[in-house]
A and B are shown apart, each in its own frame.
Chain A
C-alpha cells in the first residue's frame, strides 16, 4: 500500500489517467475542470506524453480522436458549455469506434449558469448529448479515490470496447481535496490490435462485437469515416449495412454489460426504503445513512450511470420488497426518470431535488425522509 496523499479530485483524474496510460491530452480552459488541463500540461511531457491547448472544445475533442487513431490513449476534460460543444465529435468517436475519455465536471446550468457551483444537470446530456442512436459509457465517481480508480476504468473500457467513455465529475468532488491511499496494483487494459496487415478490414468485428484497431502510419492504409460504413471502413448507402453497423455498435456493450456496470450497495441488507444517489450526493447519503442508523433505510449507488445497473437494482427491490425509493440529485429530476423506468410502478419513487448550486446537506435529505 502506498503513502496517504491529500489529493484534489481533478488531480486524481490526471494521475489516474496517466497511470492508465494516457499520453495525449487536448483541452480548453473552463471552470471547474481547468486544473485537469493545467496538471496534464505539467505532467504529460514527463511521461513522453503530449498536451495541447486547442482553440476551443470542438477542436480539443477532434485532436483527441486524431491522437487516439495514432495509437495514443487520449483524454479531454471540460464542463457544461464545453461539453455541449464536444457533442458532435463524441458522436464521431462513437460511430468510428475510436477510444477516448471525456471528462465533464458538472457545474450549474443551463448556459453559462453557475460556473463555480455544483450541479448534476448533465445526466441526460452525457447519455444523449450527441445526435442519433449511439452507445456510450458514463461513469460517475463519488470520492476522490473513486475518481483515481474510475478514470483508469474509463480508459480500460474505452480501449477494450472502442467507445468514448464519459467521466462525470461534479464541482464538489473535482475541487475538493481528500486523503487518498493509492494501491500499487491496478489492472490496465489496452485495445486489441489486428493480427496482420494483409487484407485489413478495419471494421470487421470479432465475436465480442469489437473490431481490432490498427493505427495510422503503420502500413494498414485504412479509411475512417463518420458516414455509415461497411467492414472496409468505406461509406455505404446500403440499408442492410446501416442496420448491421448500428446493431453491432449497441451489441458490443450489451454483450459485455455485466462486466461494465459498477455499483455499490450500502447497508441495504434489511432495508425497505432505498435511497439511490450518485456522484457527490452519494457520499452525502452515506452520511445520512450513518446518522439515522436505522437498518430499514439503505443506499444504492450506481457508478456507471449509463449503462445503469438496472438488473441489480431490480433484484434488490424484489429481494427486499422495497416499498419506497428516494432519488436525491442536484437537478430537477433526471436520474429519477431512469429509476422510474426500471421500477415500473413496483414501488413509490420520490425525488429530492436541489438546483441552487450548493451541495445538498444531510439535514435536508433527512427532513425529506421524515416527511415521508
Chain B
C-alpha cells in the first residue's frame, strides 16, 4: 500500500495553502486518492499556518495527518509548532533561515533567499519548496505538477511559477 502524509508549514502569505492544493491536485492527476486540509487561524497574513496532504492508492478515511512522512517548513514558528507531527523516519525540509536546534537529519535549503535574490520573485517560494520536495521524494509526476500549477495560478504567472518549481527541482544539485 502506498500512503504518504505531507505537511507544508509556513507563515500566512507564503502561499502554503496553494502549495497544498497544487501537490494534492497533482496527486489526483497521478491517479491517487487525495485529501488536503488546511489549518488556519483567523488572521490571513502572518501567524503559523499549515496545509496537510494525504496521498494514497486506497481510500483515505481519517483526513488529518497524524505523522508526516514529509514535513516542509518555511518559517521558524511553523517548524516549532508542527515538528511534533514528524519523527526520525520523516523527511524534514526547512528553509536555511530556520534554527532546527538538535533535530537531526533536517535538509536545509536557502529557499527564501533564492526566491528573493536569484529569481527576484518572493511569491514563488512555495513553488521552489514543491520542487525541492518532489526532487527529494519523487512522489509526483512532473506532468501532474505542471497541470496542477497551470490550473491554480493566474495564466500570466504560470511561467514564473513553473520555472520556480523547476528551479527548486534542480536546486538540490546547486546547493
Contact = CB atoms under 8 A, between A and B. Distances in A.
Direct A–B touching, Cβ under 8 Å: yes
Contact of B36 (A177, A283, A286): A177
Given A284-B61, A284-B62, A359-B63, 8 more contacts: A116-B40, A116-B42, A172-B37, A177-B21, A177-B24, A177-B35, A178-B36, A179-B28
A283 B37 contact: no
Contacts of A280: 63
Given A116-B40, A176-B36, A177-B21, A286 B61 contact: yes
Contacts of A361: 62, 64, 66
Max chain B Cβ within 10 angstroms of own Cβ: one of A179, A287, A363: A179
B71 interface: no
Contacts of B27: 179
Given A6-B21, A115-B42, A116-B40, A178 B34 contact: yes
Contacts of A178: 34-36, 60, 63
Contacts of B37: 172, 175-177
B95 interface: no
A175 B63 CA distance: 11
A177 B22 CA distance: 11
B5 to A, nearest CB: 13
20 contacts: A4-B31, A5-B28, A6-B28, A6-B34, A116-B40, A172-B63, A176-B35, A176-B36, A177-B34, A177-B36, A177-B37, A178-B63, A179-B28, A283-B61, A283-B62, A283-B63, A284-B61, A287-B62, A361-B62, A362-B62
A173 B35 CA distance: 10
Contact of A179 (B34, B40, B61): B34
Interface in B19-68: 21, 24-25, 27-28, 31-38, 40-42, 60-64, 66
Interface of B: 21, 24-25, 27-28, 31-38, 40-42, 60-64, 66
A186 interface: no
A172 B63 CA distance: 8
Interface in A274-333: 280, 283-284, 286-287, 290
Contacts of B42: 115-116
Contacts of B25: 6
A146 to B, nearest CB: 13
Contact of A287 (B32, B41, B61): B61
Nearest to B64: A359
B80 to A, nearest CB: 19
B143 to A, nearest CB: 15
A363 B67 CA distance: 13
Nearest to B152: A6
A290 B61 contact: yes
B36 A4 contact: no
- The 7 A-B pairs of least Cβ separation, nearest first, read A287-B61, A287-B62, A177-B36, A286-B61, A179-B34, A6-B25, A176-B37
A174 to B, nearest CB: 11
A173 B62 CA distance: 11
A92 to B, nearest CB: 33
A23 B138 CA distance: 44
A142 B150 CA distance: 30
Max chain A Cβ within 10 angstroms of own Cβ: one of B40, B63, B66: B63
A359 B40 CA distance: 14
A178 B34 CA distance: 6
Contacts of B31: 4
Nearest to A359: B64
A179 B58 CA distance: 11
Contacts of B28: 4-6, 179
A363 B36 CA distance: 20
